[in-house]
A and B are shown apart, each in its own frame.
Chain A
Amino acid sequence: MSTLKFQSQAVAKPYFVFALILFAGQILFGLIMGLQYVVGDFLAGAIPFNVARMVHTNLLIVWLLFGFMGAAYYLIPEEAETELHSPKLAIALFWIFAAAGVLTILGYLLVPYSTLAHITGNEYFPTMGREFLEQPTITKIGIVIVALGFLFNIGMTILKGRKTVINMVLLTGLVGLAVFFLFSFYNPANIALDKYFWWFVVHLWVEGVWELIMGAILAFILIKTTGVDREVIEKWLYVIIAMALITGILGTGHHFYWLATPEYWQWVGSIFSALEPLPFFAMVLYAFNMVNRRRREHPNKAATLWALGTAVMAFLGAGVWGFLHTLAPVNYYTHGSQITAAHGHMAFYGAYAMIVMTIISYAMPKIRGIGEANCNRAQVWEMWGFWLMTVAMVFITLFLTGAGVLQVWLQRLPETGEALSFMATQDKLSIFYWLREIAGVFFLIGLLAYFRSFFIKEKIA
């Protein structure tokens, strides 16, 4: 029995399932790498630290992309009140993207990176070797083809259906995602220019267009679970995305402080990125407000918990932890320290991992034909997963922040020659790295509890 409004929404299922499989892989590589921080030899032959890091971050990006695509395939037909333009295309693109993703990760793991570069013909069109954009050129081209097919499919769906604010914001975010990815093909020889444009992908994704995607998904879930009027939610969505874009785009300046760029970037970057927490704070206010003003009790309590959780954690991780080190005079000391790692962990989990799990939590019971919500026992397991992962992430962030503060104190602040070297500092941080690894194990337990929730069926009395 199907409980979907439009049958084609079911194409989201493989996207969600595969996203969660990659998520599990990301966590495993995170744990391997976390251990390598303190036990340097651990698996060092088979999976060197740089490879583990590359797999950890690439899996993150790819599983979030799968999650966003799944979210779009689920949400857009329902908003547009029409079937998806071509479910077949969506499934075909899924297999292309999944195969390309798996081959790329296997390439990272099985052959040396330079060999991978050689096999994939990087010398003819060099784009490899840059943090987060390590994918072989051919994979990057594959991503662009998948993105174009995906945008065509959802664009056609929106064109023939109802045009809502949520769909328009989501589409804008997804088009922006594809457009800014094109900068990954631009690879100037000058390293300052290289970094400058590298941020056009990295920053304008996570602090620009991805926020539109997040805002649209959150608005959709709030409409569905609270029954509050669409107009009220859309109005707030407008305010939030306007603030996100103004602060986010000019906030790119906070990456240009030490890049041989003019000094005014220190002012522009400091002031506008200091305000980047505002849209996230607005999201917290609006999510709680809407839930408090709800006009019906939605049976899917877990989805509401994820929605509120993502607003709060995004504000803390992206907003507060971003602000910690965004002002130029502070960043002069903290740049590229463990404080950056702390921010990166909580921001990606709070804003993007959690928003994907929010839509999965809402959509999966319907896609699987269970109904409006999972049975109570499954929801309890899911909420255990939520709390274990979220609290574990808070601790990971706190321990990394501790490590970062000590690192800055020992290695960066002393001016008269008593500053410790990089490796001597790392030794002093080991207690924090151990604690972070323990928190990481709890995160994995939370992930397992979350996965368990998908396999619990209602007991038939």
Chain B
Amino acid sequence: MNNAIEISTLEDKKLPGDLAMWFFILAELTVFAIFFISFAVTEQLNPEMFSQGKAQLHPVAGLINTLALITSSFFVALALNAIHQGKRKVSVSWLITAQAFAILYLIVKMWEYQSLFNVGISLETNTFFTLYFLITAFHFLHVILGMIILSYITFRTYKGAYRSNVSGFEAGASYWHMVDLLWIILFPLIYVI
């Protein structure tokens, strides 16, 4: 009963998904914010090391991944749209497409790591690469967690679970949008500027 009241007030305020998920997203954004600020401050203190480090990264790979994640997010949005209209099968196929772009991201990122390892660069090379590996690997883990959440949603959509209440779908989609939003900040900060 109380739960029902909560859901209806949430819908009135147009907060998609669940409040608990938003609390979790806020916590995740806080971790990344601290990482990004640490990176930016350390860069100000060691401009030489950071510009040399950035020169060794692969901006095209970064760009491909940016496009992959944005496209993936777009398909999740289409899938949510479809489920709102009750098109269950269409929604499932958009979700699978979204996953395909996430897999593309994983492949490109692993190739990038491998090419850095091949020239002898690792977590302990210098502070730039310590932060590069920590931040991108932490983001990488979030992509995997996001993919697990998307798989769960896909399965539930396939089973026809979101007929009356799409709150769970929206919560998962919000998480996925967060993963790509983080990359949109990460890419210029670490690769470009």
Measured CB to CB, the residues of A under 8 A from B are 228-229, 231-232, 235-236, 238-239, 242-243, 262-264, 267-268, 271-272, 274-275, 278, 282, 293, 295
Contact = CB atoms under 8 A, between A and B. Distances in A.
B120 to A, nearest CB: 16
A355 B21 CA distance: 26
Q: Select the residue from B21, B24, B30 with max chain A CB neighbours within 10 A.
A: B24
A60 B2 CA distance: 40
A243 B2 CA distance: 26
A295 B2 CA distance: 9
A275 B123 contact: no
Contact of A268 (B6, B21, B30, B134): B134
Contact of B31 (A228, A242, A262, A275): A275
B125 to A, nearest CB: 10
Contact of B20 (A228, A239, A274): A239
Interface residues of B, number: 21
Contact of A278 (B6, B20, B27): B27
Contacts of A271: 31, 34-35, 38
A302 B152 CA distance: 42
A391 B31 CA distance: 33
Given A242-B24, A267-B131, A235 B18 contact: yes
B85 interface: no
B20 A238 contact: yes
Interface in B15-46: 18, 20-21, 23-24, 27, 30-31, 34-35, 38
Contact of A229 (B3, B38, B123, B124): B3
A229 B4 CA distance: 10
Given A262-B123, A262-B124, A267-B131, A272 B20 contact: no
Nearest to B19: A235
A243 B24 contact: yes
Contact of B30 (A232, A236, A275, A293): A275
A453 B134 CA distance: 53
Nearest to A250: B138
B31 A272 contact: yes
Contacts of A238: 20
Interface string B146-163: 000000000000000000
B80 to A, nearest CB: 21
Nearest to B123: A264
B124 A232 contact: no
B30 A267 contact: no
B27 A293 contact: no
B81 interface: no
27 contacts: A228-B2, A229-B1, A232-B2, A232-B3, A232-B6, A235-B18, A235-B20, A236-B20, A239-B23, A243-B24, A262-B123, A264-B123, A264-B130, A264-B133, A267-B38, A267-B130, A267-B134, A268-B134, A271-B31, A271-B34, A271-B35, A271-B38, A272-B31, A275-B27, A275-B31, A278-B27, A282-B23
A232 B34 CA distance: 30
B3 A231 contact: yes
B36 to A, nearest CB: 11
Contacts of B30: 275, 278
A428 B34 CA distance: 38
A76 to B, nearest CB: 25
Given A232-B3, A264-B123, A295-B2, A274 B27 contact: no
A274 B130 contact: no
Contacts of B133: 264
Contacts of A282: 23
Contacts of A263: 124, 130
Contact of B27 (A228, A243, A267): A243
Nearest to B124: A262
A356 B30 CA distance: 31
Contacts of A236: 20
Interface in B26-83: 27, 30-31, 34-35, 38
B34 A264 contact: no
Contacts of B31: 271-272, 275
Nearest to A242: B24
Nearest to B1: A229
Contact of B24 (A231, A232, A239): A239
Contacts of A268: 134
A275 B31 CA distance: 7
Contacts of B6: 232
A282 B20 CA distance: 10
Contacts of A275: 27, 30-31, 34
A289 B3 CA distance: 14
Contact of B2 (A229, A239, A262, A278): A229
A135 B30 CA distance: 41
A5 B28 CA distance: 41
A431 B123 CA distance: 47
Contacts of A274: 34
Contacts of A235: 18, 20
Contacts of A262: 123-124
A341 to B, nearest CB: 27
Nearest to A268: B134
A258 B1 CA distance: 53
A314 B65 CA distance: 41
Nearest to A282: B23
A236 B50 CA distance: 41
Given A239-B21, A262-B124, A267-B131, 8 more contacts: A229-B2, A231-B3, A235-B18, A239-B24, A242-B24, A263-B130, A275-B34, A278-B30
A264 B27 CA distance: 22
Contacts of B38: 267, 271
Q: Select the residue from B1, B31, B35 with max chain A CB neighbours within 10 A.
A: B31
